[in-house]
Structures are given as C-alpha cells and as structure tokens.
Homo-oligomer: A and B are copies of this chain.
Amino acid sequence: MNKITLKDIANEAGVSQMTVSRVLNDKPDVNPATRKNIKAIVERLGYIPNANARALKGAKTNRIGVVVSDIRNPFYSELVGELEDIAGYKGLSVIVSDTNKKLETELTAIRLMELNSVDYLIIAPEGYKTEHLDQLQKRGMNFLSFGVHFEDKDYPEVWTDDYEGGKIVGNYLAGIGSKKPLLIMGNPRKTNTIDRETGFIAGFEESGGNASAIKLEHLKVNTDTCEAYLESELKERTFDSIFCYNDLMAMGALSACRKLGIIPGKDIKIVGYDDVFYANILGLTTVKIPIKKMLETSVDLIINDKREKIEFKPELIIRETA
C-alpha cells in the first residue's frame, strides 16, 4: 500500500513532524500561514493518517464495535445499518461481529473488538450470562448493553420493556377474541423471552382471556424458522392465534400458512415482534421497537461516557395478520 507519512508531509513543508501532527489534530501553536500550507500539502498528497500508529499511542481510533448474534436477522442488520448511519455522521468506523452460534462465542467476538481497539462497544447480548460483560467492565471498556436489561448490574443499557411488549399483544389478542393462543418463543433462559411471555399471559388474562388455554413452545430463533413445526401443528388447529418471539419466526409461520392455504388475519391471527422492514411488506402485525431512537441514545451515552440505563417503550403496530 501507498505510504505517505507524516514525515513526507513534514519534508515537503519544511517543518517537523510534530508541527504537521499539530495541524492535523487542530492543536494550537502553529502559525496560521504554516497551518494553511500544511493543509494544502496534506490535501494534495492525499495523506491519510495511520490509525494503527494513533491507536498505539493510545489516541482514539474512532472505531465503534457492535456485537450481534446474527447479522442475517433483519432486526440486527437494520440495527447495524442504522448504527452505520449514526456513526458515519460522527466520523466513526463500525466494526461488526456476529456471535453466530457455530464456533464463535460472544466472548471471542468481544476479544476481536479489543484486538481492534475499538473506542466504544455496543453489545446485543445473546445469553443470560454476564461474566464476560463483568470482565469488560473491570477492564474499563466503554461498552453498552443493547436490548437486554440486567436488573442487578450497573452496565449502561438501552432496552425496551419486554413485559409491556408482551402485554399489549396479550391484551390485543384477547380483545379480538382469541381463545387459544400459541406462543412461539426463543431461548427460555433469556430475560427477553421470559418478560414477553409473562407479559403476554398477564395481558391476556387482564383482557378476559383464559391463561390456562395458552400453549407455549420454545424454538430456536434466527434463521431456523418455525416452519416445519408449524406445518404439522397448523393442521390440527389447536390454537387460533400465534404470538412469535420475533418477526423472523412470524415470517416462518406466515410461510407455513401460505403453504397450507391458511389465511393469516382471517383463519388465524399472527403477531410478530421487532417491526422489521419486511413486517410492513408482509402486512404483519407486530410490536415495534424504536430502534433508531434507541441507537441514537446508545451512541450518545457511550461516546459521552454517561453511565445510564434507559428503557424505551414498545408499540403495537396493527396490520393485516391480526
């Protein structure tokens, strides 16, 4: 690769490297004329400062890391996309890593981030374990937990009220006359799952539903859609509505319906979670998470080192499937 260094600029301008460095970092103690001249040379030669050398000196790298569990899940790819927008405006590079069940654990993903010396780190924690987050905190990493709330920890966090999210769905489905809902949830050890479940049950009862009629299933989330399961299950019709842990699973349900000739919204009610872009395309009723605002808040918190916990509220988006 091309190697234009500070030295080259300094030689060209007839000054020391330090003076160039000062110009580049907008520091004082430089004659305005010299400054202007150096800037012109930098421009002309197309000099790009070496981020590695900077990082080595302990200066900011302007890199922000995100750890997500599956970039192919639209919720996360939208998250990354939004973050890139926001970060871009602030001159930050985004480094993405997904934990991707196969080999990599969240821990190795985090190591990767440290390796690349990110200034900030946003983690959408997959699990319920917090050891690695505790470690991060001890080591002084400027990170934030996104989407998951750890009651007893003092990490900075930005998340949505999952209990409330479940509840508005429970209220709604009971309200439109569902008697036997099926909940297709994800990992039962995640607080997100538990909150959405218990919220749903509470809401369903509150609006006159019979909680004991609720059927609960825990399936793998992500790209493993619940399609296969549903195909067999849908035939028996032991339920009249489905509430899915996320839109991806709901899309699996929609797909199964289509194959079986069951019309969502009419024959069966289906509700997802996340309000992903495709939910709109598909007419999927879902729970919207204000991801853009949450990310703006997250970036604000993290770059200004505000150690706060901020909860957002979800919102029911009613479309055609329920």
Interfacial residues, chain A to chain B (CB-CB below 8 A): 1-2, 48-53, 55-56, 61, 63, 70-72, 74, 77-78, 80-81, 84-85, 88-89, 93-98, 100, 102-104, 111-112, 114-117, 139-141, 223, 225, 251-252, 254-255, 258-259, 277-278, 280-283, 320
* Known contacts A116-B93, A255-B280, A283-B258, A84 near B100 by CB under 8 Å: yes
> Which of B88, B223, B283 has a CB less than 8 Å from the CB of A103?
B88
* Residues in B whose Cβ lies below 8 Å from that of A71: 71, 77, 80-81, 84
Among A70, A95, A140, residue most surrounded by chain B Cβ atoms (within 10 Å): A95
Decide: A103 and B81 in contact? CB cutoff 8 A: no
Copies of chain A in the complex: 2
19 A-B pairs within 8 Å (CB atoms) are namely A1-B114, A1-B117, A50-B56, A50-B117, A52-B53, A71-B81, A72-B277, A74-B74, A74-B77, A84-B100, A85-B100, A93-B112, A93-B115, A251-B281, A255-B283, A258-B320, A259-B283, A278-B278, A282-B282
Decide: A278 and B251 in contact? CB cutoff 8 A: yes
Decide: A81 and B70 in contact? CB cutoff 8 A: yes
